């Protein structure tokens, strides 16, 4: 391995990268016995089973913003003719200046 790339072989760096890009998938990824992706896909769950805190945490990860909360969330699912499950967030304010 090239010396300038050795940081990518460290467990902390692997955990950070895999954790960032593997959340909300249905399969567990383990590194040294620890589960890295522990966030579930909340859009697959029933609307009544998802808490406000889970909606907020998902919005913070999705928007990469902890300062501006969302104003509304729509949790939508349809079975016919296609199986569709979706979340739609309406931001509380515009981030453009």
Measured between alpha carbons, how far is 18 from 4 in angstroms, rounded to an integer?
20
Residue 59 clears pLDDT 80, i.e. is over it:
yes
Residues ≥6 apart with Cβ < 8 Å to 37: 18, 19, 22, 23, 24, 25, 27, 28, 29
pLDDT-derived band at 96, boundaries 50, 70, 90:
low
pTM of the model: 0.64
Position 97 scores a pLDDT of 57
pLDDT-derived band at 64, boundaries 50, 70, 90:
confident
Report whether 81 contacts 73 (CB < 8 A): no
Measured between alpha carbons, how far is 81 from 33 in angstroms, rounded to an integer?
42
- The contacts found for 50-58 with CB under 8 angstroms, 24 or more apart, are 50/75, 55/87, 58/24, 58/87
Q: What percent of the chain has pLDDT over 90?
A: 10
Instruction: Give the chain's mean pLDDT.
Output: 84
Position 48 scores a pLDDT of 92
pLDDT for 14-39, tens place per residue?
Answer: 888 887 788 777 788 888 888 888 77
């Amino acid at each position: 391995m090239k010396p300038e790339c050795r940081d990518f072989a460290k467990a902390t760096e692997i955990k950070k990268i895999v954790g960032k890009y593997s959340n909300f998938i249905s399969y567990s990824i383990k590194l040294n016995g620890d589960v890295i992706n522990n966030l579930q896909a909340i859009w697959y769950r029933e609307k009544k089973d998802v808490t406000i805190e889970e909606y907020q945490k998902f919005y913070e990860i999705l928007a990469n913003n902890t300062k501006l909360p969302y104003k509304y969330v729509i949790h939508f699912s349809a079975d016919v003719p296609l199986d569709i499950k979706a979340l739609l967030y309406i931001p509380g304010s515009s981030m453009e200046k």
